[in-house]
Amino acid sequence: MTTMLPIVPSPGRKRPTIRDVAREAGVSYATVSRVLNGREWVSPEAVRSVREAISRTGYTANPHARSLATGRSGSIAVLLTEPQHLLFEDPNFSVLLRGFAQALSDRELTLILMIASTPEERSRTIAYLSGGHVDGVLLVSPHFGDPLLSQLVKAEVPIVACGRVLGFEQLISSVMADDRNGGRAAVEHLIEAGCTRIATIAGPQDMVGGVERLQGYHDALIAHGRTIEPALIVNGDWSRASGAAAMRTLLDQAPDLDAVFAASDAMADGALRVLREAGRDVPGDVRVVGADDSGLAATTEPPLTTIRNPLDRIGEEMVRLLTELIAGRTPLSITVPMALVVRGSSPA
Amino acid sequence: MTTMLPIVPSPGRKRPTIRDVAREAGVSYATVSRVLNGREWVSPEAVRSVREAISRTGYTANPHARSLATGRSGSIAVLLTEPQHLLFEDPNFSVLLRGFAQALSDRELTLILMIASTPEERSRTIAYLSGGHVDGVLLVSPHFGDPLLSQLVKAEVPIVACGRVLGFEQLISSVMADDRNGGRAAVEHLIEAGCTRIATIAGPQDMVGGVERLQGYHDALIAHGRTIEPALIVNGDWSRASGAAAMRTLLDQAPDLDAVFAASDAMADGALRVLREAGRDVPGDVRVVGADDSGLAATTEPPLTTIRNPLDRIGEEMVRLLTELIAGRTPLSITVPMALVVRGSSPA
DNA sequence: CTGAAAGCGCTTACAG
DNA sequence: CTGAAAGCGCTTACAG
């Protein structure tokens, strides 16, 4: 096998630098830098010969040298502060991460993934971010009152969060789903379908999504002159298992219910299972609406009617906001609507 | 009584540099650099006063300057080449990513996430990586014959892949699960439980995991003197829906089956649903074994007996291998065993 | 429009 | 053990 020979075997092979390009193009390296950065005042011929020299040499700019000279790192940190296992198991996180990756790549920004769960990681992370080694940070699941938040704010790092950050509204940009109106839309859909005993499996009440979606449930019932019955409200923790448990409780407390709005698809799936075991037909006897429109929703039996969590859009807007923040604009808070997606568990 | 005041938070605030630390410590900045890098030949007093100066000034090294000086970037790219949506929906990917994050963080290496799906992204990515702007790359789902692979190899970027990379075994380190023996263990468990008509829902046959797990199914049957019956083998695409469809086919082709080994937990879950609908009791009438031990496995009804995909360990080993590669060692291929996890769908 | 030069913040031989 | 100095590869006023 002779094919194993590398083209340029020298271990100390040097990547071409701006000087190599300049030599090739017959100009000064300052000029090369100018065409690289699209600055004005470069003659067309210079531009052309530099471009040729670049492709001939296979030159790529050294981002570290550039950062050192400009003071801009060209990179953005995606920071996870949750105990990591929780987040990584959340399919929603993957969707968000994908959105970030796309939007950052479009802007030629590097995505640096940082996790701050253990105390050591936290202090290492805060030091790194405060050190200004990153142009900005995308905060994924800020815990209210997390000291990390104020440290970051004090360090004046541009930062945008996913979901409102209580107490920092003026300092931290944020993008979030309109959970409240989403929840309301879900319940109004059930009301319009003629349901009269609508239960809800709410999310954790120490998380904004949990609170807001439940609030939307209230809003819809009140708006239609219904009363809020405690027996129709049970909390879960977003998980399928918790949804199943909550459904059992509901069936117990209010056997005559004819609809359930679960604050997550996973909980709705758990509810579906319990309803099936209890011999209740969905949607015949009981209608079910979930939330998020995660990958799960379309594959349950029957498929879930749900309110779509626009995470792709949220990720995109977070990146846009962050670049604006970096450019010096003031913080902003954006709310993205949730849309009802109708499927078999509660048809139109 | 000296500079106790926290350094000024002026907008144009400059981060402290190595010179600031040197001034504070009363040494030259070369000495500061030495204690920073743990080089020998520094007096204990110098070390102490530098450390104090560092904490007093809140200094953190500028990684870009350091990279420029050392030629090491201190960062590792995690490269996704799959059409991204496929990967991000895969819970296994999250687990792997988490393992990477942890292992890299432990080594104070920065994790850069890169996605190369569109042609533009691909060429941008290849340029970036070939430019030597990253110390190495962790390849998540290499497609056989992907030209990106040979370009990366040609660029002499240290790279380790998840799963064997056909044709590049000598050049690219890889870490993978022992899918074949895992599949074999799953089926032997069923044989030992007394099952005689064991079906399998195999994964895609153009993916190594799909092929190997099916091979393991063969191995076990043959080793126990059983015959391979085509009617007992159906392919899926890893998804729950495909598992359900496959189960229907199996029930049709071989109504007397008493066990199913599905090559993924999601497919097993689909099979579970169809079996339930068909009135077959699991594990009473039919035993079911899945694969991966994803988050799903413990929450199905009944919970799945499965073979654990050691992705946490795989991620860890990939990072270790990569650092060794960067240090100049030769490529290596590692196989991590899969362990049987016994749950209700096929108890001991 | 273009070149020479300073400077970004670090590391690392090289002399002491 | 420690300091002065060169150099990593770029950008950007500053003079032409």
Torsion of CA B309, B315, B320, B324, to 10 degrees: 100
Mean pLDDT of the region A104-116: 89
B127 with B86, same domain: the answer is: yes
**CA-closest candidate to residue B87, choices B207, B234, B190:** B207
B203 with B171, same domain: the answer is: no
Query: What are φ and ψ of residue B137, in 5° steps?
Result: -135, 140
What nucleotides of chain D have any atom within 7 angstroms of a protein Cβ?
Answer: 1-5, 7-13
Domain ranges, residue A192: 179-310
Least confident of A46-60, A101-115, A138-152, B273-287: A138-152
Q: What is the pLDDT of residue A28?
A: 81
Smallest CA–C1' separation from A71, nucleotide? C8
In a domain, B346, yes or no: no
DSSP B266-329: HHHHHHHHHHHHTT--TTTT-EEEEEE--GGGGGSSSPPEEEE--HHHHHHHHHHHHHHHHTTP
B165 with B211, same domain: the answer is: no
In a domain, A155, yes or no: yes
B98 with B113, same domain: the answer is: yes
10-residue mean pLDDT profile of chain B (348 residues): values are 33 71 82 77 77 84 87 90 62 83 89 85 83 88 72 86 81 92 98 97 89 97 96 93 96 97 96 94 97 89 95 94 90 95 96
In a domain, A173, yes or no: yes
Shortest CA gap A61–chain B (Å): 8
CATH number at residue A88: 3.40.50.2300
B184 with B159, same domain: the answer is: no
A122 with A223, same domain: the answer is: no
Cα–Cα distance between B203 and B92 in angstroms, integer? 15
B151 with B203, same domain: the answer is: no
Q: What is the pLDDT of residue B333?
A: 92
B124 with B83, same domain: the answer is: yes
In a domain, B238, yes or no: yes
**Window 189-218 of B, Cβ < 8 Å to A:** none
B139 with B227, same domain: the answer is: no
Kindly state whether A155 is in contact with chain B, defined as any CB-CB distance less than 8 angstroms: no
Shortest CA gap B274–chain A (Å): 11
| A341 band by pLDDT with thresholds 50, 70 and 90 | very high
In which order are the strands placed within the sheet that holds B136-139? Answer: A333-336, A173-177, A159-162, A136-139, A75-80, A110-115, B110-115, B75-80, B136-139, B159-162, B173-177, B333-336
Given a cut of 70, whether residue A107 has pLDDT beyond it is yes
Instruction: Choose from A90, A96, A110 for mutation: most chain B CBs within 10 A.
Output: A110
Q: What is the pLDDT of residue B136?
A: 93
Structure tokens at B300: 């199905």
Q: What is the pLDDT of residue A73?
A: 87
Q: Give bridge partners of residue A259 from the DSSP assignment.
A: A198, A287
pTM: 0.84
A185 with A292, same domain: the answer is: yes
- A181-211: pLDDT as tens digits: 999 999 999 999 999 999 999 998 888 889 9
| A87 band by pLDDT with thresholds 50, 70 and 90 | low
CB-strand contact A42/C, under 7 Å: yes
Closest Cβ–Cβ partner in B60, B112, B299 for A128:
B60
Residues of B with CB below 8 A from A73's CB? 64
Q: For all residues of chain A together, what is the average pLDDT?
A: 86
Q: Which residue has the tokens 């004046």?
A: A156
What nucleotides of chain C have any atom within 7 angstroms of a protein Cβ?
Answer: 1-5, 7-13
Shortest CA gap A186–chain B (Å): 25
Kindly state whether A130 is in contact with chain B, defined as any CB-CB distance less than 8 angstroms: yes
Structure tokens at A32: 């090369």
CB-strand contact A27/C, under 7 Å: yes
In a domain, B7, yes or no: no
d(CA B20, C1' D12) / Å: 24
First-to-last alpha carbon distance for chain B, in angstroms, is 71
Shortest CA gap B241–chain A (Å): 7
| A140 band by pLDDT with thresholds 50, 70 and 90 | confident
Closest Cβ–Cβ partner in A61, A67, A115 for B64:
A67
CATH number at residue B55: 1.10.260.40
Q: What is the pLDDT of residue A4?
A: 32
B292 with B315, same domain: the answer is: no
- Taking an 8 Å cut-off on Cβ atoms, the answer to whether A4 and B170 are in contact is yes
| A1 band by pLDDT with thresholds 50, 70 and 90 | very low
Q: Are A184 and A245 in contact (CB under 8 A)?
A: no
In a domain, B141, yes or no: yes
Residues of A with CB below 8 A from B67's CB? 64
In a domain, A70, yes or no: no
Q: What is the pLDDT of residue B4?
A: 34
Kindly state whether B329 is in contact with chain A, defined as any CB-CB distance less than 8 angstroms: no
In a domain, A2, yes or no: no
Given a cut of 80, whether residue A302 has pLDDT beyond it is yes
Number of domains in chain B: 3
Higher pLDDT among residues A118 and A111, named by residue? A111
Residues of A with CB below 8 A from B60's CB? 127-128, 130-131, 133
B135 with B101, same domain: the answer is: yes
